Amino acid sequence: MTAPALSFVHRFEPAREAGAPPLLLLHGTGGDENDLLQLGRMISPGSALLSPRGKVLEGGMPRFFRRLREGVFDENDVRARAAELAGFIAEAREAYGLAAPVAVGFSNGANIAAALLLTQPDALAGAVLLRAMVPLADPPAADLAGRGVLLLSGGMDPIVPEENAARLAGQLRAAGASVDHRTLPAGHGLSQADIALARQWISAPRQVAA
């Protein structure tokens, strides 16, 4: 479904099952609003899908925030872009009649989802973070009580050091989130195990923030 003109170019697919949580799909570097639709359908078949395109271009490739070099982020831009994305989520919730979504982000998309949790905690009901790393060295105090996070890291990931992913899990737990952090025998790309674990996690009953 081609969506109305909101502040981000995006795709929207309505829910097909009452009670399925809406998903906010956040692509990696070089992706777009179409990239994770199939993943969303696989891990939560009945969910409404909201998939924006990142506004930052790096060598012509869309991203959700600027980086200075591989693994080094422009943290002022991270904060500004997270606030901008939170504004889009509020627009889309009103336009489509959605509850707070669960973010499903890959790589750069997972990093902006983590930044949303840490700086705009009311924007999301929870998150599936696929190959995420710390977006902010010193995040503000946030209250993530009642929000669940599934953090799936790759044990052979050449981009995200194991220590970095563990530090992100610690930041989220310190803010009160219920974090399930697993390291899979995979690299930076996604595996069937990621899909299976994400599907299992999303379908499990849990307390979800309003």
Residues with catalytic function: 107, 157, 188
Contact of 57 with 66, CB cutoff 8 Å: no
Handedness of CA 74, 25, 174, 142 (dihedral sign): positive
Contact of 95 with 118, CB cutoff 8 Å: no
Q: Are strands 178-184 and 10-13 parallel, antiparallel or unpaired?
A: unpaired
Residue 187, Ramachandran bin (φ over 0: left; ψ between -120 and 50: alpha; else beta): beta
Q: What whole-number distance in Å separates Cα of residue 123 and Cα of residue 115?
A: 11
∠ CA 119-11-26, rounded to 5°: 35
The DSSP symbol for 52 reads E
Inter-helix orientation angle 75-96/108-119, to 10°: 80
The DSSP symbol for 25 reads E
The tally of CA atoms less than 13 A away on the side-chain side of residue 71 is 7
Sole residue written with tokens 């930052």: 56
